[in-house]
Structure 1
Amino acid sequence: MALRGTNQESGRPYNRRIVLEAIRLTGPTTRGEIAERVHLTVQTVSTIVRELEEQELIVSVREKPRGRGIPPSKLTVNPEGGHAVGIHLTPLGIDVALVNLRGDVVESRHRSASNPTPDEAFALIGEMVDELKASPCRGRLLGAGLALPGPFDVESISFVGPTTMTGWKDVDINSRLTEATGLPAFMENDMAAAALGEQLYGLGQQISDYYYLFFGVGLGGAMMHDGTVMRGAWGNAGEIGHIPAVPDGEPCPCGNNGCLERYLSLEAFTRRGLPEAEWVREIAPIFRNAIRMIENLFDPETVVLGGLAPQSLIEQLAALADGLSNSVSARTNRPHPRVVVASDCQHSALRGAAALAVFGVLSPRFGQMFETSEKGTVE
């Protein structure tokens, strides 16, 4: 996304978000470099920087002198300037984490719950968030983000099978989440949330176009383009779990046969009951076909592989890229491998859920700069 400020007086809150985003993306950086990047005067940027420093969202750092003179101070995001609560709800349970502005999981909680109902889930979420609010590690809370399995609002798919949530149709999730946490609430499917978290905290700072393949209880994905998740008409673009992979294959709860996630998912791995290495060898052709399909459909710079699977399993799957055959991505001048492991697989959806709140409050496209109450929460 091109960052560009506005000279209109009414645009000052927007300019503050633009400057903060520029610092996050390029820091440590100087006031002059920010001004050039966002097309504002150095004086305007300096005024905004003072405000952001007073809010403790950014800090100044100074490099060691390398010659004569004192090097200029540079600005970077203060990781402890705010925290967001990330929540990941799956058919297996609920994870809640306190995440700082650098994407570090400061503290977390887990509750096992088999396919929890909305009442059960939000009661548990409220308990866990209250525990995190009492943590000495907690700073100013920006909001809470919830990631949960997709696809959304597809009658024949969204509420059936072991990989989806039952009893959640027509639930006002944002309202329930705000009620349970007392925080501004944001919601996303887990694959898109993980892709957003990677953009904010991981490889997305180096790569603008990538496909995030989310290996969870089921299988899904999201294409990130220039800092934005490609959504589709109903928000389910990139949902590849129900693409037919094996002709006349295993029946799928969606009503079709041979769907990809019947072979390539945590549910499929658990159902087969094989050792990791043996299972990876068995599904290698299906995995490689899936990667080539993603490449030909989306033409990404790379496919980022993450999700709920153990790190060892994710790494073995990523290594299968060494045997990939031709696609539009099979080029010799690639700056990145065709498949890479996500920056933090086990926390990918949690960090992404927290990123929803960070983006929702601070992003120049979505958010509003905030004031804080004496309790340290967003007003």
Structure 2
Amino acid sequence: MTLRGTNQESGRPYNRRIVLETIRLNGPTTRGEIAKRVGLTVQTVSTIVRELEEQAYILSTREEPKGRGIPPSTLSINPEGGYTIGIHLTPLGIDAALVNLRGDIVERAMRKAPNVAPDHAFTLIGELVAEMRATRAESRVLGAGMALPGPFGVESMSFVGPTTMSGWKNVDIRSRLAEAAGLPAFIETDTASAALGEQLYGLGLQLSDYYYLYFGVGLGGAMVHEGAVMRGAWGNASEIGHIPAVLDGEPCPCGNRGCLERYLSLEAFNRRGVSEAQWVAEIAPIFRNAVRTIENLFDPQTIVLGGLAPLALIEQLAAANTDLPNSVAARSNRTQPRIVVASDCEQSVLRGAAALAVSGVLSPRFGQMFSTADEKGIAA
């Protein structure tokens, strides 16, 4: 997705984010290169760069002259120019990380709290945030982003059943998070957060159109198109876990039967009580059919398999890609396998959640997408 600035006076904050995001994506870079990329004048870019330097969001360096003339200074993100806190809430517990502007996790802590109730959860979150902030007491912390199982805003599915956070219905999660953290707060589904983390810091740097299949306590998915996570009208696009997989199969808490996540998820694996290899062999036909469905619906460059599950289990699932059924993805000129393992299964959700909190500063495309969560019914 091309980032373009605007010459309207009211667009100054937007241009500032455009320039900062361009430096993050393409740095080290120069003022002239930025101006060409975003369609602004060099003078406008220089004014914005001066402000960003003064506020310590970016760093400017200049090489020693090698001939006539002075080489232009190059600009890059200052990783210590600010930090955000990413939080991942699951039916197993709470994980938190302090993330710098470059996306590096500099501190991490967790609390084991199975099926934690809201009041206790936000007490623990307050403790975790205080721990994170204490490690960088003099630094700027921009906000906190939290990822948790979806879908959101669906009466019969949200916060219902063992793969979600039971007891969290009608909780104003964003307000409670802001109060507990003492910071601007943002929330998103764990699936979309993982896809965002992968897009910003992982395979998304090489791919533009791929499907992220999130294998957690439940099962979710997100299609990344031209570098942006597709959201849907209500923010719940690609809720693949509730696609029917087995006719008249196991009852699902959503009210239907045979839903995919009843067979393909950590909850399903733990309920089955067999070895990883045995379970993968049992569910391989269902997994392959899911792959075919995703490919025929979205035509992705590849399916990226990641999530909360142990890496060994994810790798075994990815290896079950032999004899995949025919689909629109079965073409001889492929440059990627039909299934790949995510670059960072364990931390992509945390990095994506942290990115939510800086989206208004760093990234207009993600900022526009995720800042409207409440308006689209994403906040519970």
Question: Aligned equivalents of 1:349 and 1:146: distance in 2?
Answer: 9
1:6–1:111 distance in 2 versus 1, CA, 3 Å: same
Partner of 2:306: 306
Q: Secondary structure at the match of 2:213?
A: strand
Question: Aligned equivalents of 1:81 and 1:335: distance in 2?
Answer: 38
Matches within 5 A, 1:1-379: 1-61=1-61, 72-136=72-136, 139-365=139-365
State the Cα RMSD in Å. Answer: 2.2
Question: Aligned equivalents of 2:72 and 2:279: distance in 1?
Answer: 55
Question: Aligned equivalents of 1:333 and 1:86: distance in 2?
Answer: 39
1:14–1:160 distance in 2 versus 1, CA, 3 Å: closer
1:76–1:178 distance in 2 versus 1, CA, 3 Å: same
Alpha-carbon distance, 1:54 to partner? 2.1
1:111–1:285 distance in 2 versus 1, CA, 3 Å: same
For residue 189 of structure 1, what is the amino acid of its counterpart?
Answer: T
1:46–1:335 distance in 2 versus 1, CA, 3 Å: farther
Unpaired segments ≥5 residues, structure 2: 369-380
Alpha-carbon distance, 1:70 to partner? 7.3
**Identity fraction in percent:** 77
Is the 1:98–1:138 contact (alpha carbons within 8 Å) kept by the matching residues of 2?
A: no
Question: Aligned equivalents of 1:323 and 1:364: distance in 2?
Answer: 42
Question: Aligned equivalents of 1:285 and 1:349: distance in 2?
Answer: 28
Alpha-carbon distance, 1:3 to partner? 1.3
Q: Secondary structure at the match of 2:241?
A: coil
For residue 177 of structure 2, what is the amino acid of its counterpart?
Answer: L
Question: Aligned equivalents of 2:126 and 2:63: distance in 1?
Answer: 43
Question: Aligned equivalents of 2:65 and 2:317: distance in 1?
Answer: 45
Q: Secondary structure at the match of 2:50?
A: helix
Stretch of structure 1 that moved more, 215-224 or 328-337 = 328-337
Q: Secondary structure at the match of 2:86?
A: strand
Deviations 1:94-113 (A, max 9, x none): 11111112222111111111
1:137–1:62 distance in 2 versus 1, CA, 3 Å: farther
1:214–1:68 distance in 2 versus 1, CA, 3 Å: farther
Is the 1:83–1:138 contact (alpha carbons within 8 Å) kept by the matching residues of 2?
A: no
Is the 2:277–2:316 contact (alpha carbons within 8 Å) kept by the matching residues of 1?
A: yes
Question: Aligned equivalents of 1:275 and 1:67: distance in 2?
Answer: 66
Question: Aligned equivalents of 1:193 and 1:273: distance in 2?
Answer: 29
1:66–1:245 distance in 2 versus 1, CA, 3 Å: farther
Question: Aligned equivalents of 2:209 and 2:64: distance in 1?
Answer: 35
Q: Secondary structure at the match of 1:110?
A: strand
Question: Aligned equivalents of 1:115 and 1:317: distance in 2?
Answer: 27
1:154–1:9 distance in 2 versus 1, CA, 3 Å: closer
Q: Secondary structure at the match of 2:80?
A: coil
Alpha-carbon distance, 1:69 to partner? 8.1
Question: Aligned equivalents of 1:352 and 1:33: distance in 2?
Answer: 28
Q: Secondary structure at the match of 2:231?
A: coil
Deviations 1:4-26 (A, max 9, x none): 11223332222111111111222
Deviations 1:166-207 (A, max 9, x none): 221121111111100010000111101111121222222222
Q: Secondary structure at the match of 1:109?
A: strand
Q: Secondary structure at the match of 2:151?
A: coil
Q: Secondary structure at the match of 1:253?
A: coil
Question: Aligned equivalents of 1:70 and 1:28: distance in 2?
Answer: 17
Stretch of structure 1 that moved more, 207-216 or 133-142 = 133-142
Stretch of structure 1 that moved more, 56-65 or 230-239 = 56-65
Is the 1:215–1:307 contact (alpha carbons within 8 Å) kept by the matching residues of 2?
A: yes
Question: Aligned equivalents of 1:48 and 1:145: distance in 2?
Answer: 26
1:7–1:216 distance in 2 versus 1, CA, 3 Å: same
For residue 302 of structure 1, what is the amino acid of its counterpart?
Answer: T
Is the 2:18–2:362 contact (alpha carbons within 8 Å) kept by the matching residues of 1?
A: no
Is the 2:289–2:325 contact (alpha carbons within 8 Å) kept by the matching residues of 1?
A: no
Question: Aligned equivalents of 2:112 and 2:119: distance in 1?
Answer: 15
Question: Aligned equivalents of 1:111 and 1:289: distance in 2?
Answer: 36
Is the 1:30–1:74 contact (alpha carbons within 8 Å) kept by the matching residues of 2?
A: yes
TM-score by length of 2: 0.90
Q: Secondary structure at the match of 1:80?
A: helix
Question: Aligned equivalents of 1:279 and 1:66: distance in 2?
Answer: 62
Stretch of structure 1 that moved more, 312-321 or 140-149 = 312-321
1:257–1:65 distance in 2 versus 1, CA, 3 Å: farther
Is the 2:315–2:341 contact (alpha carbons within 8 Å) kept by the matching residues of 1?
A: yes
Alpha-carbon distance, 1:240 to partner? 0.7
Question: Aligned equivalents of 1:260 and 1:214: distance in 2?
Answer: 13
For residue 19 of structure 1, what is the amino acid of its counterpart?
Answer: V
Partner of 1:371: none
Question: Aligned equivalents of 1:208 and 1:273: distance in 2?
Answer: 38
1:236–1:350 distance in 2 versus 1, CA, 3 Å: same
Is the 1:94–1:111 contact (alpha carbons within 8 Å) kept by the matching residues of 2?
A: yes
Alpha-carbon distance, 1:303 to partner? 1.3
- Count of aligned pairs: 368
Alpha-carbon distance, 1:366 to partner? 6.6
For residue 146 of structure 2, what is the amino acid of its counterpart?
Answer: L
